[in-house]
Amino acid sequence: MKPGWEKGLDWDKGEGLLPAIVQDARTGEVLMLAYMNAEALALTLKDKLVVFYSRSRQELWLKGETSGNLLELVSIAPDCDSDTLLVRVNPTGPVCHLGTRTCFDGEGDIPGGGNFLYGLEKVLKERASADPQSSYTAKLLQTGVKRIAQKVGEEGVEVALAGVSGGEAELLDESADLLYHLLVLLVSRGLSISQVVSVLQSRRSTTS
């Protein structure tokens, strides 16, 4: 956004308040809806931590000030009418006061579409404490990083072979196996798919 973009916002329509749709910058998932006044927006832009205006208490509130589950600002953009804000964030914990990831339904589901890998990663982390006798993921994690890395290498070769001489179904199956084992490797090293995405995003910004 260009400097000073916030001066064009239509504060009058909402009597000094704008709806703020909060979206996870990594997964695209909608997390919550709140409101901002001009002061809340200014503080958010200044400190890079999201501040809202409480209509019930009629005061500013830093999201996560008491729980520690802050919303780290990535970007803010107005809609086409300049009367609603899209706030993209990196949440540091559950967003809803009920302790769930989002204020909307579907907390227990693996998100679909482009968010699926993030949901799968969450499941893999949970499986780390499962019984290795009943969970392949737990058993694989128990074997250690070297064995997991070896599996990634094996799956990579199978993807390459399927890409050269296999059918479409085979290539898709082998690619799924590779992605799964790569996620397990990241989990075993305490890393995440969002960090991989961040690397890709940084490369795009330097090459575009």
31 part of a folded domain: yes
**Strand pairing partners for 92?**
none
- What is the per-residue pLDDT across 129-166, written as a single tens digit (0 to 9) for each? 899 898 999 999 999 999 999 999 999 999 999 999 99
Residue 51 · residue 117 · CB < 8 Å: no
pLDDT at 108: 45
Does the model's pTM come out above 0.85? no
Question: Which domain range does residue 183 map to?
Answer: 113-207
Rounded Cα distance, 63 and 46, in Å: 15
Question: Domain boundary at 57, 91, 125, which?
Answer: 91
Mean pLDDT in order along the chain per 10 residues (208 residues): 84 94 88 96 97 95 94 95 95 88 64 66 89 92 96 97 96 96 96 85 68
CA dihedral (48, 53, 57, 58) in degrees, to 10, reads 130
pLDDT at residue 122, as a whole number: 83
Q: Quick check: 23 and 111 in contact, CB under 8 A?
A: no
Number of domains the chain is built from: 2
CATH number (domain holding residue 52): 3.10.20.810
Strand 51-54 relative to strand 59-62, pairing: antiparallel
**For residue 100, what pLDDT is reported?**
82
- On whether both 60 and 128 belong to a single domain, the answer is no
Residue among 56, 45, 33 nearest 9 (CA): 45
3-state secondary structure of 65: coil
| Contact of 24 with 37, CB cutoff 8 Å | no
Angstrom distance (rounded) from CA 129 to CA 143 = 13
Residue 101 in any domain: the answer is: no
Residues 186 and 117 in one domain: yes
Which pLDDT belongs to residue 115? 67
Angle made by CA atoms 137, 93, 179, in degrees to the nearest 5: 30
> Is there a domain that residue 17 lies in?
yes
pLDDT at 157: 97
Co-location of 53 and 21 in the same domain: yes
Residue 30, strand partner residues? 23
Question: Count of CB atoms within 10 A of residue 47's CB?
Answer: 11
Residue 107 lies in a domain: no
Same domain for 196 and 139, yes or no, is yes
How far apart are alpha carbons 182 and 184 in whole angstroms? Answer: 5
